[in-house]
Each structure stands twice: as C-alpha cells, then as structure tokens.
A = this chain, B = another copy of it.
C-alpha cells in the first residue's frame, strides 16, 4: 500500500504532532504519538484536540485504505481518562461499509493499555480514487 505511505507522509498536521503510522491493512490502521509538551492544555494534560487528531489520523488511514477517497462526516469522541505523559496508541477498526458510507470504531490507549478515549467516525466515500 504505497499510496497510503504517501497519503500519510503528506499529512502536515499529523507530522506537526509527531504521529507515526504503525500498521495498516484494508479497513484497519494503528498509530502512535509520544506525548510532548506541545500537546498539553491549560491543566497540563494532553489536549482533547491532540487526542482527537491521533484518532482521526487512524480513522482517515483506515477509511482511505480501500483507495476510494473518503472524508469524515461525523465523529463522536468520549474522553475517559486524562493523561500527561507516556505514549498514546490509536487503533481504528471498520464497523460497516457500503458504497457511500463507512463507519469506524477507534480506541485510544496509553502504553499501559489503559483506555483513554473512544472515537466513532462516519465517513463519506466519494466516487474518486486515491491513485
């Protein structure tokens, strides 16, 4: 899946945050983000926006793994546990797919395996292709 590597490489916002792709297959993606000072909010925990971005990145990779261009329509995210240090992992799994709509469950956990956040994304599948 070379086009996915390219797809991932050109994501400047994910790069800014230090997100690294670990694994990808059809409808699946896993990534990590080492927590740094830049990710922190006013109360010294990882910003909801940084957690969202890590999850959204795996959502985008998983949704675009079928080569059809997919864009996010809607996301629901729950914040379960605040975290300040260590490494975050995000894993996206496809729940459903039809010609126009696909949905994904994403779990964000830390290096101890504690669940930090859950993310449910719905994507719209365009009639255009990535390559």
Contact = CB atoms under 8 A, between A and B. Distances in A.
Interface of A: 7-8, 10-14, 16-17, 37-43, 47-50, 52-54, 56-57, 60, 69, 71-82, 95-96, 98, 100-101, 103, 105, 115, 118, 120, 122, 124
Contacts of A73: 73-74, 78-79, 101, 122
A118 B11 CA distance: 23
B101 A124 contact: yes
Contact of A7 (B11, B42, B53): B42
A106 to B, nearest CB: 11
A74 B71 contact: no
A49 B49 contact: yes
Query: How many copies of this chain?
Result: 4
Contact of A12 (B40, B69, B80): B40
Main secondary structure, interface of A, reads mixed
A85 B88 CA distance: 30
A122 to B, nearest CB: 5
A71 B96 CA distance: 17
Contact of A38 (B16, B39, B52): B16
B76 A120 contact: yes
Contacts of A95: 80, 115, 118
